[in-house]
Each structure stands twice: as structure tokens, then as C-alpha cells.
Amino acid sequence: MGKYNQDFKVLTKRELCANTYHFKIQAPLIAKKILAGQFIMIRPNENSERIPLSICGWNREEGYIELIIMSAGRTSTEATIKEVGDSFKDVVGPLGQRSHIAKYDGACVLMGGGYGTGAIIPTARDLKEAGNRVIGVVGARSENLLLMVDELKDACDEVYLTTNDGSIGIEGFVTHALEEIQKKEKVSSVLAVGPVPMMIAVANMTKEDGIECWVSLNAIMVDGTGMCGACRVTVGGKTKFACFHGPDFNGHEVDFKELMTRQKMFVDQEKIAMEAFTGALEK
């Protein structure tokens, strides 16, 4: 297999919770270069759209990358129905910039919701390697929706769990865990990766408390290389491309209102695409 004719084979597939799977994909060239915080774009089949996905791990020697894919619409579902031995048509990357890594005097708190819990694992490892105390926080609606907790525990000094229904850990949101942590120790930096309302809450709280805050922006992307402008976001009053300048940005400077409006731009088309796809599957 050459550089332009690779086989992105599914090596393993594991269900994490309803509609969400962990995959190991053969991709030796990406595995060789990928850094914490960067992402890839996949096209599951010849006629699929391309979607961006974070990387939750890799093995440079064995040449694979690890992904968490939640089936949200047509293309992500085309990916999650792949089985071991199937291949993805394209996997492009690494894309975007590495997460911000520095040595801090207080703890680094990394917060993940949904697939975001996988995305924070490589950054947690790098921050720890840089000599930091690293605390992970995983939030979900309920215990059965918490993902990758054991893997995050391996990468962090300590992990807090939060559930909206209180089925395990702290009852409430990831911000409640941050409150608890701040009662015990100094926090210097926070990274939040997950649904936009969660990132807004974390950005607001850290701004009040004077803590550095990074968020990973899940803007709609088309090419993923800074060419098309689909992922345009406003940060600190300036136009940035989430795929090229990010995906991590200073959470205190992000125009989240604009991000949410732009995320909803294609809702009607997304519905039609999913209905056509499920209709074809049922036939």
C-alpha cells in the first residue's frame, strides 16, 4: 500500500454506550505524526461526506489510531456501522494544532463530555509529562453514558465523575466538580471538550475565577485545512478557522452565540440526509 492508496482498516470495535463506539483504525502515517489536540477527517464510503473526529489515542509502532464515534447523523452512522475488517475510504490528518502544553504552578483540570472525554486523554498525558498535576473530570447525564473513565484515570493523577441524575459521582455538571477541586487546591488551567453549553459554562466560571480556559470548538467543517471557510469562528473579535487555527481556543474570547448559530445552519438538510439513509437501510 502506497502513500496515496492506504487501507484504513477497522482493527477493533467496542461499544461504549448507546450509539457510541471506540475504534482502532490502521493508519500508520497518521499514527507516526499525530499530536494531542489534533484531529482527522474521515470519509466512511466513496459517496460519503467528510466529518471531523478527534483522536483519543494512537500507537506509533503498530501504526493505528483510536477514535470514538457517536452516531449523530448520516455520515457518523455510516462510520459506526463499520465492523472489524471493513475499511474507511479516506482518513486525512493530522489536522489542526497541538493542544496548549505548558508547566503550571497549579493543577490542570481537563473536562470531557461525550466523545470529548476521549479527546482530552492525549492532552492529559502531555500535561503530566510536562510535570503538571492533572485532574480529569468526566460529565454525563447518567452513569451508563460515562465514557473512557478507566483510560482517563491512567492518564491523570485524579478523576472526578459528575452525572446530572446523581447516579454516580457528583450530582450536577462538570462545573460542580471544578468548584470542589478549587476548594482543595489551586487550579491554573482548564481544558473543556464537549457540548457547547458545557464549554460556555466552564468558560464563564473560569473567567470569573481568573483561570486560563481552553475549549475545543466543534464547528461544522468541510475540508479541514483552512480553505473553505465553513468552520469560521470569532475569537477575540478576529475571524479564525477552527480547523486550522484550532480546534483549541481561549474560551474567554470565543463568540459562542455565533458558533451555535452556525452549527444549526444545515439542520433541515441533515434531517433529509438521515431520513434518506435510514430509509435505504430499511429496504
Ligand X SMILES: Cc1cc2nc3c(=O)[nH]c(=O)nc-3n(C[C@H](O)[C@H](O)[C@H](O)COP(=O)(O)OP(=O)(O)OC[C@H]3O[C@@H](n4cnc5c(N)ncnc54)[C@H](O)[C@@H]3O)c2cc1C
What is the Cβ-side half-sphere exposure of residue 121, based on CA atoms within 13 angstroms? 23
Answer yes or no whether residue 266 interacts with ligand FES by CB under 6 A: no
Answer yes or no whether residue 241 interacts with ligand FES by CB under 6 A: yes
Binding partner selected for residue 223 from ligand FES, ligand X, none, CB under the kind-specific 5 to 8 Å limit: ligand FES
Q: Do 93 and 39 meet the contact criterion of CB atoms below 8 Å apart?
A: yes
Binding partner selected for residue 228 from ligand FES, ligand X, none, CB under the kind-specific 5 to 8 Å limit: ligand FES
Q: Residue 257: in which H helix or E strand, if any? A: helix 256-263
Closest CB 118 distance from ligand X, rounded Å: 6
Q: Which residues contact 3 (CB under 8 A, 6 or more apart)?
A: 29
Nearest alpha carbon to residue 251 among 281, 211, 224, 221? 211
Q: Which is nearer to ligand FES, 197 or 229 (CB)?
A: 229
Answer yes or no whether residue 49 interacts with ligand FES by CB under 6 A: no
Interface contacts to ligand X, rule CB under 6 A = 39, 49, 51-54, 68-70, 72-76, 115, 119, 218-221, 247, 267, 270, 273-274
Q: Out of 221, 233, 254, 259, which residue is the one contacting ligand FES (CB under 6 A)?
A: 221
Answer yes or no whether residue 265 interacts with ligand FES by CB under 6 A: no
| Residues making up the chain, counted from first to last | 283
Distance CA 283, CA 279 (A): 7
Q: Do 186 and 105 meet the contact criterion of CB atoms below 8 Å apart?
A: yes
Binding partner selected for residue 226 from ligand FES, ligand X, none, CB under the kind-specific 5 to 8 Å limit: ligand FES
